[in-house]
Structure 1
Amino acid sequence: MDHSSDDARPLKRAKLASAQADGSVDDHTSGLGTNQTNLGSTLKMPVNLPGDGASKELEVGIITFIDDARDKFQAILKKRYTDFLVNEILPDGQVVHLQSMNAREAAKQASNDDGVRANDQAGQVQVQESIPHSAHENDTTAEALGNDKGPSSDAALERKGDAQRSEVSDNDRAKLVEYFSEETVQQLTSLYDLILRDPEKKARDLPAVRTPFTTDRSIRTQIHQDIRRIFDSKIESSTDKDGVLVLRAATPSNRNRGWPKPAGKARPGVLSWMDRGGEYLHFTLYKENKDTLEAISFITKQLKTTNRTFQFAGTKDRRAVTVQRVSAYRIEAHRLAGLNRVLRYAAVGDFTYQKKGLELGDLSGNEFVVTLRDCAIDGTAKLTASEKLSSARSYLSQSLQKLREKGFLNYYGLQRFGTFSTRTDVVGVKILQGDFQGACDAILQFSPIALDAAKDPESSALVGQDDKNRAEGINIWRTTGKVPEALEKIPRKFSAETALIRHLGRQRQDFLGALLSIQRNLRLMYVHAYQSLVWNLAVGERWTLYGHAVVEGDLVLVNEHKEKEAGQEVVESVDADGEIVVQPSADDRAYDPDDIYERARALTAEEAASGQYSIFDVVLPLPGFDVIYPPNATGQWYQTFMASEAGGRLDPHNMRRKQRDFSLSGGYRKILARIGADYDFQVHEYTNDDMQFVATDMDKLKGKRGGEEAKEKLQPASSEETAEASADRDGDGDGTAVSEPASELEQKKLAAVLKFQLGASQYATMALRELSRGGIQAYKPEFMGGR
């Protein structure tokens, strides 16, 4: 799983990124460096059919190698999704592993930290330590959840007394800024101060605040609840006939009702959130072959809350086994642990209560354990088995050392650009051009292969059931306009498509509103993908021009070199994908009050020649209005490419948009990345393709070892979808186990297991690309071919 989150930047502040995918496109054999005419197709709408990963890399600017003078190392990546293990690394350097799946440890923490006895309910819940069969909902959810109340009820009951607050907390203010403009938030806090100064003043004598309101019902409900909670029910919210949100003071008789409860009397026998350790429940999320957002969305629905309840440091790959920390606001550990009964190919555990939630970028990187199968080095076909084994070990030892010492070009991997027929950067450029209808149409593209397979049960095309259902649902919407029928077909995990169809079903021509109805992290992905495409092409151009040399005009981060220059102290921040991003000025609509700035500056000729700066210090900007561009040939390339048809005819210095989320301030990313100093590898001989060489955290938790005993599936498949997932783990596309012909069982193959660490926003696939000189190819399950 190729996670991502990035490096630092120059001029202003920085953020990080992460993601992964499989896509394909028409082959391009010519280079994309300085020849912009070859890039025209990158901003069209290529149809993703099963194809060569190298051609897909060419389309998104992944072209150059640092060391191009070695033989290729051929291997297959992710033939089973258990071949790609990713464990998040916390800021303190600790690698996250799933160790326990019950809620007792959280109760013990509360008891030990506060010197009080944890309540019996949270302390005694036992959870079966096994991972359920599949990743999707079933009818046992209600039974698993029992009669537990939702998080909003918990918040009401657990909220501490009716203390008069003179100001809104920083966390609550940040939440309000997510919903409203800075001006509206100031008006609201001013109204609240007036109410507190004169609690008996009549509501009609106090000003009302009016602001535009979203049409998304789930978000509207959450906003109403947050207004009530943040302002202690002293401010009431309602929507007028024009859809405008009206916020006014509650009547004096109602101001002390609602959320505030007398301290200690909310629910007898239950610890307050502060007694437990804090309002945020931190837990470990283990998942197999799932997107982070897919897993969180399922948990959200089971708990009957919203995605805003959960926070995480960065998204993780789908086709992998990943482990990461997540935080949940005012969710009890026993409720979350209870979901282990219904979670499929996922699990939660290691619960602790904390005073603060996780933020994007609250990680230092990821540890990867990667199994490469069918390994071979070009030119070694005639060697004996023992010679091939020795050659592979020598090759990997030298290559890993070079990845540490010389690094690799820090490209954004294919995962950044999506899996379907239209790449995410294509959607992003349409959004930045203001073509919101075109962006919606691009998101709702589907492969005719998938639709044909959905219509014809006898079709020989191996297409996943989810892909068939997606294509069929979108086609229903396009041809009939029937929203309920379309949404019934489209799997829940395709949240962007679902949001668009639901919104356009109500307001057929409101394409901007439809885009804004998509979950924020997801809609940001589109414009960030365009930035990533430009950056990939730029780093290839810069490497072609100057290579390892540090030259006049190269950019470095001011904050990284305080010993060499005076610079202001800053704190890093990251975007939804973990990418360090420069933040806008305080007077800009996209301003976030929590943002701190990171600055970059250009090196003089004397500084470049001084030897004080290495190529590992050099950064390139992601396009935005608040970054500087290199004052050399590389900087001129940005202007030329982005102004071209292939670049979207955009101005790199004018990336402000009326919509906050589409107004790009920019960011910086290191040209080179390198693996951590602590790396290792093993080379194995094998004959059984089903052999698993490394135990997952779940295997370890269940007392398994790596190797033969670990090859069992977690649970037997109980549906077509589950069969696909099980087959995917075993590397077969038709949902059945594969038996090798007897003649092949005697032929030994080589598998390499690599263990290494990367920083935030650095892609393992790009490290492996450099290691093998492009010889490692990601396995593409045949049942994914319809994308």
Structure 2
Amino acid sequence: MSNEEDVGIKAYTTKTDPFTGILRHRFTDFKVNEIDLNGNVAHLTNFDIPTPAVSIAKADDALESAAAVAAAYETLLGADAATKKDALLAFLDQAKLHKDAASNNPAPAPLVLDSVPDKDLRRSVHQLFKNLSWAPPLSTSAVSFSNKTGGEPNLQGIQVTCTSSDPRKSQAGQKRKWQEREQWPGDKNKYLRFALFKENVDTHHALMSMAKALHLNAKVFNVAGTKDKRGVTVQWATAYSVTPEKLLRVNNTVRDLRVGNFSYVPEALRLGDLRGNKFDIVLRGLSAKSSDMVEAAALALKTSGFINYYGLQRFGSSSIPTHAVGRALLRGEWEEAIRCIMTTSSNTRPEIEAATAEFLAGGSPNKALSVLPRNLVAERSILSTLAKEGPGATVSALLSIPRNLRTMYIHAYQSYIWNEAVSERISKYGAEKVIAGDLVVPRSTLQAARSAKAKQATTSKTQEESSGGNLAEEEDAPEEDLAGAVEPHLVTEEEAASNKFHIEDLVLPLPGHNVLYPKNEIAQIYETLLQKDGISMTSSSHKVKEFSQAIMPGGYRHVLFKPTDLEYSVLRYDNKETGLAQTDADVLNGSSKLVLPENGKYLALKLSFSLPSSTYATMLIRELTKMPTTVEFSKTLQHPE
């Protein structure tokens, strides 16, 4: 995995003394609560069943009893013609008994009613069996039968069937299904929204576990973004036509998950339907010499903010970062791109590392394919295509990678260039104010765009599946997606002199063919970086559109973020395994509040702050502590004894 300087992460906004601390010593040390588009923070606080959106007792036009239906039937046909009145009454009584949840009474057999020659009259008979809240679902269908007494050769009648009487299926199973869907309590709001609380489980695994426990297709669930495994997270989720009572079974059957805070909503959540996340983080075993040193660093962070770098997660965990793949693709170096993708990370299983190394040395793709696990999607796509089409099919092999992964490589390269440009901007001009020629998007303008997005989300009728994401660091809704709706403003000399704009308004472009660049020395930095890599934003060195500048319109990203709601406190403790944070589950369970010694031998820092989507919590921690954010460095940290 790359270090920070390899991907352009080089500058700081503050000059406080560095110190180290252990992040996620316990998974409860890292809590994430999702913030929806309306600013509501997801918390699990209750398991209450919401009030039904409409009364489900019965429809106004439904008949109130079996006797009332039979009487209405006799009235429609006339006493002489309604020869099946008594049989109908018996059928309805049996159906009513069958509906009783505690009853084992079977469903009645289908009943063919009297012949009804008149079409309008038949329509009225059909209507008798609609919306009978006291009966199970009944269906009616037209039937023809012979007239055994002479006259018309074929008579038109109606057959009434209880939906649980299909002989091909289990009556108990059919009964359970219609009981669950018979009266959906949300009325026109067909989705159940709920808070999903999970501990040390990633979002995908959580949804699959719920689906398995409830015997549902996982596609009934939707989330706005994925959350990390190593932590305690609460996020909003929706389920299509699943009742709260059914979903509550999860709390007793699936470990490490709890659901609650139910409400009925008209739409499913979609990927990106969130404003950001609220973080509650504990750093343990601090190396700082005093609490004053730690508090000074936290205060400086709150005052000056931190650089909004793309964190290391953006660039993957392999020994060759994803932006190197993107660079090779943009340059048309197909074999180099394949080599970068197929080069494994240092913690790969030995048999996989050996198989990929043999392939890269000219070995058979089939042999490597037999070893690689199915979660290595890009690698398996390449090997499968080369095995079928031959070693020369490098472009086909790269195009066989799913589109979202292909574009991830290009986006990673854009992110690398952006990081490098930001480091140069801070190095040259500081992180205190904007200058002439800078590009700005005021935070108020950005908030208006997000509010418009929230309004659009509540009126849209589209249901989409959520997928992917960069876990707790939130790649769920990249800020640059707003580029089309938010046009940056070019700062004039007069505006810079009058300090009209704040440093938090400053944006820099992600390189692309449809963005503005600053009108100062920073524009030259982009040109220099791209020329060094042999890449142009105006022309391509190859003819493969999918890997060219044509798919790079670009975007904008704010340079700094100030966590204005940052709260912090220095804690003392004696036992390195002591819990230093309470979760929503602890509060619901009535767990007592933490009591810590005033003069404990260990030092910890407790942080609480909110971040918008696509802003990395690891970059805030980096600014605060000045310690590297690589996995390798974190593994070297040991809690003091």
- TM-score of the superposed pair, with normalisation by structure 1: 0.54
Q: Which moved more, 1:328-337 or 1:281-290?
A: 328-337
User: 1:86 aligned to 17, 32, 37, which one?
Assistant: 32
> Aligned residue for 1:432?
330
Matched, 1:420 2:322: no
Q: Which moved more, 1:657-666 or 1:539-548?
A: 657-666
> Aligned residue for 2:12?
65
Q: CA deviation at 1:361?
A: 3.4
**Counterpart Cα distance in 1 of 2:398 and 2:585:** 38
Q: CA deviation at 1:610?
A: 1.8
> Aligned residue for 1:697?
584
Q: CA deviation at 1:543?
A: 0.9
For these two proteins, the number of residue pairs brought into alignment is: 490
Task: Map 1:407-556 to 2 at 5 A.
Answer: 407-435=305-333, 438-447=336-345, 450-452=348-350, 471=353, 481-482=365-366, 486=370, 490=373, 494-497=376-379, 521-547=404-430, 548-556=432-440
**Shift in CA distance, 337/369, structure 1 to aligned 2, threshold 3 Å:** same
**Shift in CA distance, 332/274, structure 1 to aligned 2, threshold 3 Å:** closer
Q: Is the 8 A contact 1:684 1:750 kept in 2?
A: yes
Q: CA deviation at 1:676?
A: 2.8
**Shift in CA distance, 495/307, structure 1 to aligned 2, threshold 3 Å:** farther
2:424 maps to amino acid: E
Q: CA deviation at 1:317?
A: 3.5
> Aligned residue for 1:364?
275
**Counterpart Cα distance in 2 of 1:477 and 1:342:** 45
Q: CA deviation at 1:540?
A: 0.7
Q: Is the 8 A contact 1:473 1:486 kept in 2?
A: no
Q: CA deviation at 1:553?
A: 0.8
**Counterpart Cα distance in 1 of 2:516 and 2:237:** 35
**Counterpart Cα distance in 2 of 1:329 and 1:517:** 33
Deviations 1:2-54 (A, max 9, x none): xxxxxxxxxxxxxxxxxxxxx3x4xxxxxxxxxxxxxxxxxxxxxxxxxxxxx
Q: CA deviation at 1:630?
A: 0.6
| Aligned-partner SS, 2:486 | coil
| Aligned-partner SS, 2:279 | strand
Q: Is the 8 A contact 2:566 2:607 kept in 1?
A: no
**Counterpart Cα distance in 1 of 2:385 and 2:590:** 48
Deviations 1:599-640 (A, max 9, x none): 113111112112211111111011222211112110111111
Matched, 1:315 2:209: no
> Aligned residue for 1:651?
536
Q: CA deviation at 1:440?
A: 4.4
Q: Is the 8 A contact 2:19 2:625 kept in 1?
A: yes
> Aligned residue for 1:591?
none
2:9 maps to amino acid: I
**Counterpart Cα distance in 2 of 1:607 and 1:299:** 55
1:405 maps to amino acid: T
| Aligned-partner SS, 1:325 | strand
Task: Map 1:617-696 to 2 at 5 A.
Answer: 617-645=505-533, 649-653=534-538, 658-659=545-546, 663-677=551-565, 679-686=567-574, 688-696=575-583
Q: Is the 8 A contact 2:355 2:368 kept in 1?
A: no
Q: CA deviation at 1:651?
A: 1.9
2:11 maps to amino acid: T
Q: CA deviation at 1:401?
A: 2.8
Higher RCO, 1 vs 2 (CA within 8 Å, ≥6 residues apart)? 1
Q: Is the 8 A contact 1:372 1:753 kept in 2?
A: yes
Structure 1 residues not aligned, in runs of 5+: 1-22, 26-55, 119-264, 381-390, 455-469, 585-595, 710-745, 783-787
> Aligned residue for 1:354?
265
> Aligned residue for 1:259?
none
| Aligned-partner SS, 1:282 | strand
Q: CA deviation at 1:98?
A: 3.1
Task: Map 1:136-535 to 2 at 5 A.
Answer: 268-269=178-179, 270-271=181-182, 275-293=186-204, 295-296=206-207, 311-329=222-240, 343=254, 345-377=256-288, 380=289, 391-392=290-291, 394-435=292-333, 438-447=336-345, 450-452=348-350, 471=353, 481-482=365-366, 486=370, 490=373, 494-497=376-379, 521-535=404-418
> Aligned residue for 2:503?
615
| Aligned-partner SS, 2:507 | strand
**Counterpart Cα distance in 2 of 1:674 and 1:117:** 53
Q: CA deviation at 1:315?
A: 3.4
Q: CA deviation at 1:287?
A: 3.7
**Counterpart Cα distance in 1 of 2:26 and 2:577:** 8
Matched, 1:581 2:480: yes
Q: CA deviation at 1:653?
A: 4.7
Task: Map 1:29-44 to 2 at 5 A.
Answer: none
**Counterpart Cα distance in 2 of 1:334 and 1:516:** 46
**Counterpart Cα distance in 2 of 1:498 and 1:340:** 37
Q: CA deviation at 1:397?
A: 3.2
**Counterpart Cα distance in 2 of 1:523 and 1:326:** 28
**Shift in CA distance, 292/266, structure 1 to aligned 2, threshold 3 Å:** closer
2:22 maps to amino acid: I
**Shift in CA distance, 678/777, structure 1 to aligned 2, threshold 3 Å:** same
| Aligned-partner SS, 2:194 | strand
Q: CA deviation at 1:295?
A: 4.6
**Counterpart Cα distance in 1 of 2:182 and 2:326:** 47
**Counterpart Cα distance in 1 of 2:385 and 2:583:** 41
**Counterpart Cα distance in 1 of 2:434 and 2:214:** 53
2:411 maps to amino acid: H
1:670 maps to amino acid: H
2:428 maps to amino acid: L
2:579 maps to amino acid: Q
Matched, 1:116 2:56: yes
Matched, 1:769 2:609: no
**Counterpart Cα distance in 1 of 2:261 and 2:386:** 41
Q: Is the 8 A contact 2:274 2:477 kept in 1?
A: no
Bigger Rg over Cα? 2
Task: Map 1:4-15 to 2 at 5 A.
Answer: none
| Aligned-partner SS, 2:417 | helix
| Aligned-partner SS, 1:636 | helix
Q: Is the 8 A contact 2:23 2:284 kept in 1?
A: yes
Deviations 1:418-439 (A, max 9, x none): 2222222223323333445544
| Aligned-partner SS, 2:480 | coil
Deviations 1:405-428 (A, max 9, x none): 221111122222222222222233
Q: CA deviation at 1:665?
A: 1.8
**Shift in CA distance, 417/519, structure 1 to aligned 2, threshold 3 Å:** same
**Counterpart Cα distance in 1 of 2:251 and 2:381:** 28
| Aligned-partner SS, 1:659 | helix
| Aligned-partner SS, 1:429 | helix
Q: CA deviation at 1:761?
A: 2.2
Q: Is the 8 A contact 2:436 2:496 kept in 1?
A: yes
Q: CA deviation at 1:658?
A: 2.9
1:540 maps to amino acid: S
Q: CA deviation at 1:560?
A: 4.4
**Counterpart Cα distance in 2 of 1:313 and 1:112:** 25
Please, what is the CA RMSD of the aligned residues?
4.4
**Shift in CA distance, 338/598, structure 1 to aligned 2, threshold 3 Å:** same
Q: Is the 8 A contact 1:284 1:325 kept in 2?
A: yes
Q: CA deviation at 1:330?
A: 5.6
Deviations 1:512-548 (A, max 9, x none): 6666665655554332222211111111101111112
Q: Is the 8 A contact 1:582 1:666 kept in 2?
A: no
